[in-house]
Structure 1
C-alpha cells in the first residue's frame, strides 16, 4: 500500500458566509472588472502582466485625506511623495488636486519641475543632495529640508552672495515609542542636536528657517506616535518664538500612514486593524491646536502622504503559467509576474482574486513567479480555487512603490495603464523592450 504524502496543517481565520455542499466559497465572486473595464480586455489589449491604476480611486483617496485634516485644522497642505509612485500621469493627478511635490533626489526634483510644479511648491528632502542640486533648489526658491550638519555647512557656503536667503527646514528625529527609532535621518530632538541646528541656521544670517520637518517611520500603525511627534515639533517651534523671536511658518509631519494591506505575519487583515486617515488626523491636529500657538500664528501643517493615497488604486493583472505539486504535497501555482515586478510581495500578504468564474474547490497553495530564483514567492500560503494555465488573476493594492522599486531582472517590466474617471483607458508607461534595455550598452570592437 502506497504511503500518503504528508501535508502540513494550515490555520486560517474562518470567514462567515453562505455554505454549499462543497463548503464556504472563498473569495466570493470573480474579480472581472476594474472601474467597469473588463480585466480580460485589458490583458488582451496591453499584455500580461499589466499594472492598472484607477484615477477615480486616487482622487477619492486624496480628497478624503485632505478633508480629514482640513476640517480639523485651518491650514493644511499635502505634498505628493514622488518616491511612492513617480509616473508623471500619477503625479499630475495629485498636482491637479492641489498637492505640492515632495522629492528625495535630484532625479525626482527634475521630474517635479518637468511636471510644471513651481519651485516654491517643491519640498526637497533626503540625505544625498549634491551641491548642484542644492543650487538649483535655491534658485527655484524650494523648501530645502536639512538632513545633517555637513549639508547645513554646505548650504551656508552656497548661500553666500545670494540676493534672497534660501528657505530651509530642519529635519528632526525623535523617540515616539516606535522602535527601532528612525534616527538615521535628521537631527535628534532628545539630545539637543535639533535645537543646535536651529541655532546654527539662525546665527548664520544666510538662511531663512521656514519650518520643521519629521518623518517618524513607515507603515506606522499607532496614531499616538504621531501625537508625540506633533507635541515635540510644536515645542521646538514655540521655543523658537520664545527664545529667538522667530516664528516657524510650517510644521511638516511627513508621511508613514499605512494602507490597508496586510503585513506579513499578521493574523487579522489590514482592513480590520489599520487606523484610518481620520484617526491620524484627529491625533495630529488635536495636539497642534492645543499646543499653545497664538491663533494668528498657527503653523501651516504639511503632510507628505504616499501609500495611503494610492495603494488601493493599483492592481496587477497576471496569467497562470502552470501548476505542480511540491515534495511536501502542497499545490504550487506559477504566474507570469515575479518579485522583480511586485516588490511589495516581500512586505504584504496581497489579496489575489481569480478574474474568471471558478470552481468551488478551494485548496491552500503557494503562488510563485516565473523567475529562476527560490525567493520568487508572491504568496507563501493562500487559499484559492484551482486555477488552470491561461487563467487570469488580479493582485490588489499594489499602487505604492512597485512602479518605483521594480527592476528589470530576467523578465521585462510590464506596461502601466490608467483608467480615467470616464472609464477610458490610457497607456501611461509602455512595456519594456529588448531595444530599450540594450540602448545604453556598448560592446568593444574586439568582442563583436
Structure 2
C-alpha cells in the first residue's frame, strides 16, 4: 500500500525559553480530568460534546466572598444579580436564593424575572430601552427604576398621571472616574451639568421624585481607585440634589464591572499578579462612602456585579474533530465549539487544559471552532502537544456572557448542566434540535417541497 507523501515541516519550538515578561512558555499543559468532582469522560458520555458545565459550589462561594467583603465594611449593602451576564434560570435562581435582587436591562429580562416569581420590590430596572408597557408594569410592581434619558422622564410622568401618584425614581449618571474608556452612552453626564438639568426637569414636572443614583463606569475595571472616585462624585451630587430639591438619596447604585480571572487579550502577566482582590475593591468603595457621607446618613449601597460572580463557575468541555497544518507550518486543530458558544473569545484568552495526558513535543498551535468563518478562532497562540481526533479540551472561566451572547448560527447549541453541591449532575438547559430553530417559522404552502417538485415535474 502506497502512503501519501506529506511535505516535512520544520517548526521552531519556543518551549521553556525565557521572555521579556520574566516567565517561560508552558512546558506541560495542565490536565483537568474532572469538574467539581465529576469525571469529564462521564459528563461527555452522558451529555455529549460540546458541553457547558456549571459548579453550584463555586457560584455560591464567589457570591458569598463578594458579599462578605462589602457587608463587613458597610452596614447597608444590597446585591443585584446582572441578568445580562447569565440568565439561565438555574443560575438566576441560585443567586436569588443567596439574596440577590434581579438587575434587568430589557423587557425580555423583566419577563424572565417575573416568570421566576421575583417580586417587584426585588427588581432593579436599568437599560436604555424600557417600553412604555414595561415601565408601567414596573411602576405598578414597585420596581426600582433608574431613568436613562429624557424620553423616559416623559413616559414616567404620563404613567404617574394615569395612576394619580408620585413615582419614586433613580437616575443614571455617566461620569469621569479617571479611567479609559469613559462610558458616556448611558444616563446623564455629571460633569457637563446635564444630570442636574435632568433633576430640575423632573422637579418642574411635579410627578416624579428622585430617591437614588445609579452609575456603571465600565467593565473589567482593574483599578479599585476608580470606584472610589465614582462614589465621591455620586455622593456629592446626591447632596446637591438634596440641597436644591429636598430629596435625600435612599440608595447609591455603583453598577458592576469587577473583573474575573479571565485574561484580557494583550495582557501577559499572570492573573494573580494583575488582579486586585475583592477586598481591595470593597476598601476603595466603602472608605470613599464613609468619607463622603454626612453623619447618620447610610444610604443603601447597591452593587450589580455579574462577571466576578459567575465567570469562574462556568466551564466548557469540547472535543477535537479535525487536525491540519497551515501553509506556514503551524499546527491547527478544529474543535466542536467556536465563537458561536464562546463569543467572549474575541476579548479574552481562556484557560485551556487537556482532559487527559497527551505525550509528544509541544508546539505553537491554533484552535479553530467548527464554523465556516475565518474569524472562528478560539486561541491562536497556544502551545499544545500533538492532539488526535476525539481529544477533549477543558476551557475554564466561561460563565459570564457566553450563555447570553451565544449564537444560533450553523451549529445547534449544546446541553448545559449544573453540578450540585452534593455532586449530582442536573440538566439545566437541553441541547437544541431542529424544532427549536423552526418553531417560529412559517412556510407558505406554495413553497412546500412537495408542491415545488410537483410544479417542476409538471413543467417538464
The TM-score normalised by the length of structure 2 is 0.92
Q: 2:362 and 2:289 mapped to 1: Cα distance?
A: 51
CA contact (8 A) 2:251 2:301 kept: yes
Q: Check if 1:133 corresponds to 2:134.
A: yes
Alignment of 1:79-98 (within 5 A): 79-98=80-99
| Equivalent residue, structure 2, for 1:364 | 364
Q: 1:140-219 maps to which residues of 2 (within 5 A)? A: 140-219=141-220
Alignment size in residue pairs: 439
User: Aligned equivalents of 2:218 and 2:66: distance in 1?
Assistant: 19
Aligned pairs for 1:260-299 (under 5 A) are: 260-295=261-296, 297-299=297-299
What residue is the counterpart of 2:389 in the other structure? 389
Return the offset for 1:163.
4.8
1:289 Cα shift? 0.5
Question: Shift of the alpha carbon at 1:219?
Answer: 1.0
In the alignment, which residue of structure 2 is the partner of 1:20? Answer: none
User: How far apart are the structure 2 equivalents of 1:219 and 1:52?
Assistant: 23
Alpha-carbon shift at residue 391 of structure 1 (Å): 1.0
CA contact (8 A) 1:25 1:360 kept: no
Partner of 1:235: 236
* d(CA) in 2 for partners of 1:365, 1:383: 6
CA distance in 1 between counterparts of 2:359 and 2:23 reads: 18
Q: Paired residue for 2:28?
A: 26
- Equivalence for 2:312: 312
Q: Residues 374 and 3 from structure 1, CA distance in 2 versus in 1: closer, same or farther, beyond 3 angstroms? A: closer
- Aligned equivalents of 1:240, 1:386: Cα separation in 2: 64
Q: Whole-Å Cα distance in 2 between the matches of residues 110 and 3 of structure 1?
A: 59
Instruction: Report the CA distance between 1:206 and its aligned residue.
Output: 1.4
Residues 6 and 328, structure 1, Cα contact 8 Å, conserved in 2: no
Distance 1:161 1:41, change over 3 A: same
Partner SS state of residue 160, structure 1: helix
1:145-166 Cα deviation digits (max 9, x unpaired): 1000111122111111425432
Q: Give the Å deviation of 1:278.
A: 1.3
Say what the alpha-carbon RMSD is for the aligned residues: 1.9
Does the 8 Å CA contact 1:141/1:166 hold for their aligned counterparts?
no
Alpha-carbon distance between aligned partners in 1 of 2:196 and 2:11, rounded to the nearest angstrom: 59
Deviation at 1:24, TM superposition (A): 7.0
Q: In 2, Cα distance between the equivalents of 1:224 and 1:8?
A: 44
Change (3 A) 1:387 1:299: same
Question: In structure 2, the residue corresponding to 1:137 is in which secondary structure?
Answer: helix
Counterpart CA distance in 2 for 1:163 and 1:419 is: 49
The separation in 2 between residues aligned to 1:15 and 1:113, in whole angstroms, is: 50
The question of whether the paired residues in 1 share the 8 Å contact of 2:13 and 2:362 is answered with no
| 1:3 CA drift (Å) | 10
**Distance across 1 between alignment mates of 2:289 and 2:346:** 36
Deviation per CA, 1:106-164: give whole Å up to 9, x if none: 11011111112110110000111111110110110101110001111221111114254
Counterpart of 1:46 in structure 2 is: 47
Report the Cα distance in structure 1 between the residues aligned to 2:198 and 2:300, rounded to whole angstroms.
21
Give the direction of change, closer, same or farther, for the CA distance of 1:348–1:8 in structure 2 (3 Å limit): farther
Are 1:378 and 2:378 an aligned pair? yes
Following superposition, the deviation at residue 407 of structure 1 comes to 0.7
Match of 2:451 in 1: none
Instruction: Kindly indicate whether the alpha-carbon contact (under 8 Å) linking 1:261 and 1:271 is maintained by their aligned counterparts in 2.
Output: no
Aligned position for 2:108 = 107
Distance 1:166 1:362, change over 3 A: same
Look at both structures and tell me which one has the larger radius of gyration over its CA atoms: 2
Shift in Å at residue 15 of structure 1? 5.2
Contact 1:263 1:270 in 2 (8 A): no
Using the TM superposition, give the Cα deviation of residue 371 of structure 1 relative to its aligned residue in structure 2, in angstroms.
Answer: 0.9
State the match for 1:19 in structure 2: none
Aligned partners of 2:148 and 2:188 also within 8 Å: yes
2:63/2:309 contact within 8 Å kept: yes
